[in-house]
Amino acid sequence: VVRGSGQAVVFVLCKPGATCGATGGVLPAVSRALDVNTGVSSVTMQVECPLGSADVVLHAAVSGTESAALATSTTIACRCDAGQTRSTIAERSTWVCKQCEEGSYILDPNNPAHSCETCPAGAVCNNSTVIGKINGSVWTPDATYPGRVELVSCPEGYSILNPAVYEEQACVPCAPGRFCRGKGTPSIKCPDKRHSSDKAKGASDCFEAAFVSLT
């Protein structure tokens, strides 16, 4: 909102540090008339930020003047909300915030290295959160792939399925005949002549069993 005298105000978004005027802006300049009674002019604009910058400058000046006294500028921080990612508009060398698709997530919407990620099989994702389907499962930021999570631990009675395949990561019940101590350890086969039900947590859950072969 700008208050002043004259007929119209020209609004333009500019790169920080650049000469800001009616031309040379990030987007085409927008002109809005001043209200003859209040002397106020306002505009609603789509904010596009220059590539490589986290700020953009909004410049407003009374139309037809070069006087600094009839112009004003303010810096706008380019920040995305939780669940949004940066989307590039190549023809203007700018970027805007875009909502991630339902069922995906982004860890840090204001980190250019992060983007919307597909939710792993063993989790439920809601734009900005990743929650394991199994209580007690632990998901942490992946040190190898910035912006992704990895499953590092499962509760007792479960093991990690395909830890090397991002999309398939999940805590799965320990299979019969094996026991799972949880954390990030693989399942262990019960000793000879012993068996277990599914979700066995330790060697003590393996019981003596007689195996009969049918011919």
**Mean pLDDT of the 180-208 span:** 93
Instruction: Tell me the per-residue pLDDT of 157-176, one tens digit each, with 9 for 90 and over.
Output: 999 998 889 999 999 999 99
Structure tokens, 196:
């277990």
Quote the Cα angle for 104-107-109, to 5°: 95
| Beta-sheet strands, E only, within 117-195 | 117-118, 123-125, 130-132, 138-141, 149-153, 158-161, 170-173, 178-179, 188-189, 194-195
pLDDT digits (tens, 9 = 90+) for 147-160: 999 999 999 999 99
Dist. CA 94–CA 28, nearest whole Å: 13
Residues β-bridged to residue 171: 160
Instruction: Give the tens place of pLDDT for each residue, 45-84.
Output: 778 899 988 899 988 887 765 555 567 888 999 999 999 9
Cα 189 to Cα 10: distance, rounded to the nearest angstrom: 75
Question: CA-to-CA distance for 53 and 56, rounded, in angstroms?
Answer: 8
More confident residue, 212 or 202: 202
Under the banding of pLDDT at 50, 70 and 90, the label for residue 19 is confident
- For residues 130-137, give the mean pLDDT: 96
Task: Name the nearest CA neighbour of 174 among 206, 207, 210, 130.
Answer: 206
Answer yes or no: is pLDDT of 23 > 90. no
pLDDT of residue 12: 87
Question: 31 and 9 in contact (C-beta within 8 Å)?
Answer: yes
Q: What is the pLDDT of residue 2?
A: 46
